[in-house]
Amino acid sequence: MIILRPAALSDISNLERLAHESGPMVSTLPEKRSHLLNKVEQSIVSFEQDVDCAGEESYLFVLEETLTGQVLGTGAVNALAGNREPFYSFRNDIKVHSSRQLNVHSRIHALTLNHDLSDHSQLCSFYIVPALAETDYPTLITLGRLLFMTIFPLRFANEWMAVLPGIADESGRAPFWEHVGRKFFGIDYNQVEYYNSTRNSTFISEMMPYHPLYVALIDEEAQAVMGLVHQNAALQCSLLSDQGFEADKHVEIFDAGPILTAQRNALSLCQKVQQVKLTTITDHVNANSLQTFLIGLAEGNSFKACLVQGGLQGNQLQLSEYNIDQLNLSSEHRVFCIKL
C-alpha cells in the first residue's frame, strides 16, 4: 500500500534524493540538507502542537510505499503563507488613464507587487517520482492534503492557495524572468528561486520595483507566458481546478506562473467528505461494483491518507480485510472518506 503520512527525521536521505530529482521546479524543496532538516523538524513540532488558529505551522507529508519504506513523493502545507514574513506576488491590476481634453479613456494592464495573499494557507512542495505521474497517486498527494486541512479546520485560514510553476525550459531560462526580474536582480532564474526558498523574503522587497509594471511595456515573449503553468505541473493544476481553485488576480513574481486560490467552504472535497466506519467486504459483494475512495485517518493531531477500493453503504465503508490490516487501525482513529 502507498500512503501519505507526515515526514519523519528518518526521511531526510530520501527527501534529499527527491529534492535533487525535482530540481528548480519545486523551489520549496531545495537540495540543501540543513533546509530539509529544518523543514522536517518544523513539521514534527507543528503536528505535535494543539492549535486553535493558523500561525507559523508548516506540515510536510511524504508518499511512502509501506512494504519497502521507499519515499516516492512530497507535499506540504503552510498554515499561513506570510506568517513570519510577507508573501509577495504580482497582482493583475487595471490602471485607468483618461483625458477629457483629448477625449481619450484608456484601461492599462499593470502588475503591482503586493503581499495580499500573506493570510492564505498555502499548498506547496508538491513532487512525485516520474514513474507514478500517470497514476492516481498525484491525486493522493493533492487531495490528501486538502482532506487534512478539512479535518483540522482550526489549523488553517479560510482562504487557501497554491503557487504553480510558470514557463521555464530545461536550462533554467524563464521568459518572464529574463525580461523583468533579471533587469532588477542581474542573476539567473534558478539562482533567485534557490534564494527564495532558503532565505527570508527581505531581498524581494529590496530589489523588486515598488511601482506598477505596465504590461504593454514588457517584452511580448514575457507577456505571452503570464499566468501559464509549466507542463510538469499541469496535472496538479487540473486536480486543484476540479476542486474549485481558480487562477484569479495574482501571478508568481519570478516566472509569472499562476496562483490558484479558493475559499475552503466552496471546495468540492470539503462539501462531500464524510466520517465513516470501516467494515470488511462480505463475500457476496461484486468486485466490479467497488469504487475508488480517498480515506483519511486522524488520530490525535496526526493524519495519514491512502486510496482504496471499497463500497459505501450509509456511513459504513467496506474494504478488503487486507486493506484494513494494512491501515493498522486503532480504536482512536477517526476515519474520513470521499469517493473519487
Tell me the pLDDT tens digit for each residue of 229-270: 998 889 899 999 999 999 989 999 999 999 999 999 999 999
Q: Compute the distance between CA of residue 73 and CA of residue 53 in angstroms, rounded to an integer.
A: 28
Is the pLDDT assigned to residue 159 strictly greater than 70?
yes
DSSP letter assigned to residue 87: P
pLDDT of residue 287: 62
pLDDT of residue 3: 95
pLDDT of residue 332: 74
How many CB atoms sit inside 10 A of residue 293's CB?
20
Least confident of 105-114, 138-147, 203-212: 203-212
Q: Are 7 and 28 in contact (CB under 8 A)?
A: no
Grid cell in block for residue 257: 506562473
Grid cell in block for residue 330: 486503532
Where does the pLDDT of residue 284 fall: very low under 50, low under 70, confident under 90, or very high at 90 and above?
Answer: low
pLDDT of residue 206: 82
Q: Compute the distance between CA of residue 340 and CA of residue 337 in angstroms, rounded to an integer.
A: 9
**What is the percentage of the chain residues whose pLDDT exceeds 70?**
97
Q: Residue 254: which residues within 8 A CB-CB, separation 6 or more?
A: 166, 174, 176, 177, 181, 189, 192, 193, 196
Q: Grid coordinates 493531531 are at which residue? A: 301
Full set of structural domains in the chain with CATH: 2-91+113-269 (3.40.630.30), 273-339 (2.40.40)
pLDDT of residue 283: 61
What is the rounded average pLDDT of the residues 103-113? 89
Where does the pLDDT of residue 21 fall: very low under 50, low under 70, confident under 90, or very high at 90 and above?
Answer: confident
- Closest residue by Cα to residue 145 from 59, 265, 72, 42: 59
pLDDT of residue 300: 87
Per-residue pLDDT reduced to its tens digit, 178-195: 999 899 888 888 888 878
pLDDT of residue 101: 83
Q: Compute the distance between CA of residue 66 and CA of residue 325 in angstroms, rounded to an integer.
A: 12
Is the pLDDT assigned to residue 124 strictly greater than 90?
yes
Is the pLDDT assigned to residue 120 strictly greater than 80?
yes
Q: Compute the distance between CA of residue 159 and CA of residue 218 in angstroms, rounded to an integer.
A: 31
Q: What sign results for the dihedral spanned by CA atoms 152, 157, 160, 161? A: negative
pLDDT of residue 280: 85
Q: Compute the distance between CA of residue 130 and CA of residue 153 in angstroms, rounded to an integer.
A: 32
pLDDT of residue 286: 62
Q: Are 254 and 187 in contact (CB under 8 A)?
A: no
What is the rounded average pLDDT of the residues 2-17? 95
Q: Are 250 and 90 in contact (CB under 8 A)?
A: yes
Per-residue pLDDT reduced to its tens digit, 306-328: 999 888 888 888 888 888 888 88
Where does the pLDDT of residue 87 fall: very low under 50, low under 70, confident under 90, or very high at 90 and above?
Answer: very high
Grid cell in block for residue 2: 502507498
